[in-house]
Structure 1
């Protein structure tokens, strides 16, 4: 790809790591091309343990620290500010306050080039800052790197994929409202303590809402987590059926994560948070 020409004013080169495969592969892809690259991870404090483990592996391959950006106030503080409302696809205050604000505070008014991990085979934009001092570039698109290319970069670097890909197709908070039904079941099986915390948030919000607004708030569309886990057998059966259909549609030797993505996409076509899921 073409690296923008340096001007008299110093320009920062930054690349956000989500904890997912695409941004991690882009970090490796750009490692030797832009030695001054600054890698960052917006840490909400509610990430999966597998994400933190994967970041450590990635740092080893990059030979450079991934800066953790933390919000000045935590999730509970902002939930109070938003009057006890759980974040949702229509009200993504968690993204704004726990990811975008720490990033833009970190960059300040510095001129910066942000390297965004949108692949050549994707038709989406990802997060693009509206601040005039931040310019987005898309190396994978320019260099023709597609999904197979991403997997190849990670394999050759000896990093592989995050362990959460065994049951979940997206990075992000353990209580992310973009999780599909099967992924919530996966969270309950692998991290029952985190699942219970998510349930406690629902219980607290709905206890307060009953007294004031009479509205029910849930992480997963259409039902509470208690109701969802009560349908575990049904959800797992449908997921297994979707996996079979996805495998039949897929080309031979396709990685499990891609088959899983196809199967879960039958359940929901909502696009995940661009900042979290690259």
Structure 2
């Protein structure tokens, strides 16, 4: 007797994976939805997941790494994760996902859009087959926003000031996003500073290359003014574009480096 194939969809709290859940929840009624919880997420992320559950009537499995961020930070010698050393994604996203699936044959549905030039896959286990419904159906960013608006779920609240989901101290944040974190969640910004500064051997690490968060915040007026000019330019060039799209376009001008798929989609 052949083993039943599981259907799994990872939610990150971002727009793409959320729209994919809307698209597929009736097509695949036995879909298993999961969220890899690092316990360092924004409250807006948890609130958005609650909204998705309520609107779609689905269950979300919250997968927690066996130990939290601080445990893995200690195991890595106090070295903060970075684009070159993404141990956070491996230990707190990929491994919990692979443990959730185990050795069962599974199809993993991934929210990469047709207008994105990437085919990233967060697991190499042979029993997990990746599928890209947006690419298969030719759906682009405008379609994703439409799907979310028509569902009544809408866009994540943090998209007012941040274009990516993930931990509140994610090293992929742009300068403006760090400044806005300090404004929206000053307590979390102080926690991020503590991770930079509190090393018993005197080392100093920085979340953003070449600049501490205190130095960055001292330049907040300059950073905000530069951002507002870019937003005005973007709005003038595309006056009918949704605010979230304009924000994402402006932030990508500052840094177009792609974040980890498990956190961002």
The C-alpha deviation readout for 1:126-185, integer Å capped at 9, x for no partner, is 334210000000111111211111111111110001110000000000000000000001
Superposition pairs of residues 151-166 of structure 1, within 5 angstroms: 151-166=145-160
* Cross-structure match for 1:267: 254
Q: CA deviation at 1:269?
A: 1.7
* Cross-structure match for 2:140: 146
CA distance in 2, matches of 1:102, 1:204: 28
Matched positions, count: 265
Conservation of the 8 A alpha-carbon contact between 1:31 and 1:62 = yes
CA distance in 1, matches of 2:129, 2:87: 24
Q: Is residue 239 of structure 1 aligned with residue 227 of structure 2?
A: yes
Q: Is residue 257 of structure 1 aligned with residue 250 of structure 2?
A: no
Q: TM-score, normalising length from structure 2?
A: 0.97
CA distance in 1, matches of 2:54, 2:119: 29
Q: Is residue 48 of structure 1 aligned with residue 18 of structure 2?
A: no
Q: CA deviation at 1:209?
A: 4.1
Q: Which runs of 5+ in 1 are unaligned?
A: 1-6, 211-215
* Cross-structure match for 1:71: 65
CA distance in 2, matches of 1:274, 1:12: 21
CA distance in 1, matches of 2:201, 2:66: 26
Q: CA deviation at 1:8?
A: 2.4
Conservation of the 8 A alpha-carbon contact between 1:116 and 1:136 = yes
CA distance in 1, matches of 2:121, 2:236: 33
CA distance in 2, matches of 1:248, 1:157: 29
CA distance in 2, matches of 1:148, 1:63: 25
1:200 is matched with which residue: 183, 191, 194?
194
Superposition pairs of residues 84-123 of structure 1, within 5 angstroms: 84-123=78-117
Superposed structure 1 runs of 4+ greater than 3 Å apart? none
1:10 is matched with which residue: 1, 4, 12?
4
Conservation of the 8 A alpha-carbon contact between 2:179 and 2:217 = yes
* Cross-structure match for 2:179: 185
Conservation of the 8 A alpha-carbon contact between 1:128 and 1:136 = no
Conservation of the 8 A alpha-carbon contact between 2:13 and 2:45 = yes
The C-alpha deviation readout for 1:47-66, integer Å capped at 9, x for no partner, is 00000000000001221111
CA distance in 1, matches of 2:42, 2:121: 21
The C-alpha deviation readout for 1:19-47, integer Å capped at 9, x for no partner, is 00000000010011111000000000000
Q: Which runs of 5+ in 2 are unaligned?
A: none
Conservation of the 8 A alpha-carbon contact between 2:122 and 2:261 = no
